[in-house]
Amino acid sequence: MNKVISEIKERELAKGIKGRYFHTDNNTFGFVDIKKGAILPAHSHVHEQTTQVTEGKLKMTIDGVVQVLEPGMITLIPSNAVHSALALTDCKVTDIFYPVREDYK
């Protein structure tokens, strides 16, 4: 199944954070645009997640460890890890979740 990312319905996750989600049998892929200054509040979920920054600088806190992600960097968010983010610039990121995020369908 082929999709054009820009044609996938967009959903707002938080103020200034919008994503488009593509699902396979086992994974959910998120293509996320984040405006400078946007905050993703601290939260956790059972899904293992990877976040790859393709544009911008994103400050992430994962289980109390703070890191700044820049283009070409990827990080792992383990299952149930408390994490949050702050966009230091406008950002584009790709998130991959396992298992599928049924709540994002």
Residue 12 placed within a domain: no
Domain that holds residue 87: 29-100
The confidence band for 18, taking pLDDT boundaries of 50, 70 and 90, is very high
If one counts the domains in the chain, the total is 1
Q: For residue range 47-78, list pLDDT tens digits in order.
A: 999 999 999 999 999 999 999 999 999 999 99
Q: Taking the C-alpha atoms of 42, 61, 32 and 49 in order, what is their torsion angle to the nearest 10 degrees?
A: -90
Residue 2 placed within a domain: no
Residue 9 placed within a domain: no
Residue 88 placed within a domain: yes
pLDDT of residue 1: 78
Rounded average pLDDT over 29-53: 98
Residue 76 placed within a domain: yes
Burial class (CB in 10 A: 0-12, 13-18, 19+), 81: middle
Residue 72 placed within a domain: yes
Q: What is the token pair recorded at 2?
A: 């082929």
Domain with residue 86: its CATH number is 2.60.120.10
Residue 14 placed within a domain: no
What span, in angstroms and rounded, lies between the C-alpha atoms of 66 and 84?
9
CB 54 within 8 A of CB 94: yes
Residue 64 placed within a domain: yes
Rounded average pLDDT over 16-30: 98
The confidence band for 94, taking pLDDT boundaries of 50, 70 and 90, is very high
pTM: 0.94
